[in-house]
Amino acid sequence: MTDSSTYVPPAVWTWDTESGGKFASINRPIAGSTHEKTLPVGDHPLQLYSLGTPNGVKVTVMLEELLALGHEGAEYDVYLINIGDGDQFGSDFVDINPNSKIPALLDRSTTPPTRVFESGAMLIYLAEKFGEFYPEDPSARAECLSWLFWQMGSAPYLGGGFGHFYAYAPEKWEYPINRFAMEVKRQLDVLDKNLAKRRFLCGDDYTIADIANYPWYGILALGKLYDSAEFLDVASYKNVVRWALEVKERPAVKLGARVNRTWGDEALRVTERHSAEDFK
């Protein structure tokens, strides 16, 4: 790779260099499948293909929350998609998610089956399908959607920006780390100021906005993302920490966070989930 101080972009970018960094081997500039691959299908209406990253956990937490409320229709099979091995480029997966990223959801209770890609779209789909964690009043719903879409728009700066350059890039470059640390601290302050006035992101009730934000900003505030707690001084965002500590204790959050985990405490990993028995 060219030194950043001497690099002059060519007139037309070409895909001919190894960028380095943790995910270099799976990144490519084209869409579509690379190989034929049939996905497994279980007995339940909802089939999820995912991995236990923050975007994947949003959906498994939502499903566990729905099951905790007694919605049997929320029973799901979830299969592991190993993005390091390129499973997201298999033909069946790309049919569900043309964007080749986990999570991907297929609802087989409809005819034809309904595909859903983008974790935020899945939260809204499930919230509407089961009538939970989503305010009915249009103004309250708009506030909930605002914080949900805030997360969808903001987290790429945290993950793809700050996390990439602080934790995964092949070298530490001051310019991008400064730029994204500044933005992530601003985002934490946005949340902190909101949570100074509210118990949950949209008010008194726990909603899909909390479910979407917790695996990113809650985990960050609890000092468990990118080993960055001291660098970002996350403890100073006291309202975010208070909110994260409350959400963390929800039984469904604990269960959902274990699903599709292939790292961390082995005793807690549930690499595939087909029923509540899998947690035992």
Ligand X SMILES: N[C@@H](CCC(=O)N[C@@H](CS)C(=O)NCC(=O)O)C(=O)O
Nearer to ligand X, 117 or 241 (CB): 117
For the beta carbon of residue 228, count every other beta carbon within 10 angstroms.
Answer: 19
Given a contact cutoff of 8 angstroms between Cβ atoms, the answer to whether 157 and 232 are in contact is no
Smallest separation, CB 22 to ligand X (Å): 11
Q: What are phi and psi of 46, to 5 degrees?
A: -95, 125
Which helix or strand (DSSP H or E) is residue 96 part of? helix 91-96
Residue with tokens 């274990």: 258
Nearer to ligand X, 18 or 204 (CB): 18
Nearer to ligand X, 241 or 259 (CB): 259
Which helix or strand (DSSP H or E) is residue 193 part of? helix 174-195
Smallest separation, CB 158 to ligand X (Å): 12
Binding site for ligand X (CB under 6 A): 26, 53, 55, 83, 88, 100-103, 118-119
Q: What are the tokens at 123?
A: 């939260």
Smallest separation, CB 149 to ligand X (Å): 11
Nearer to ligand X, 100 or 187 (CB): 100
Task: Quote the CA–CA distance of 280 and 277 in Å, as a whole number.
Answer: 6
SS3 content of the chain, % helix, strand, coil (to 5): 50, 10, 40
Nearer to ligand X, 26 or 181 (CB): 26
| CA nearest neighbour of 47 among 105, 8, 102, 100 | 105
